[in-house]
Amino acid sequence: MLVLVTGGSGSGKSEYAERQMTGFAGHRRFYIATMECRDAESERRIARHRAMRAGKGFETLECPGDLERLSLDKEADVLLECMSNLVANEMFADGKLHEEKEIADKILKGVKHLLRQSRHVMIVTNEVFSDGAPYDPWTQEYLRCLGRVNRVLAEMADRVVEVVYSIPVERKKEGEHS
| Spatial separation of the C-alpha atoms in residues 165 and 139, rounded to whole Å | 26
Q: Which residues contact 27 (CB under 8 A, 6 or more apart)?
A: 73, 75, 76, 77, 119
Annotation says 113 is catalytic? no
Distance separating alpha carbons of residues 41 and 28, to the nearest angstrom: 30
In degrees and rounded to multiples of 5, residue 77 shows phi and psi of -110, 135
Catalytic residue among 27, 49, 120, 177: 49
Query: In whole angstroms, what is the distance from residue 160 CA to residue 83 CA?
Result: 14
Positions annotated as catalytic residues are 49
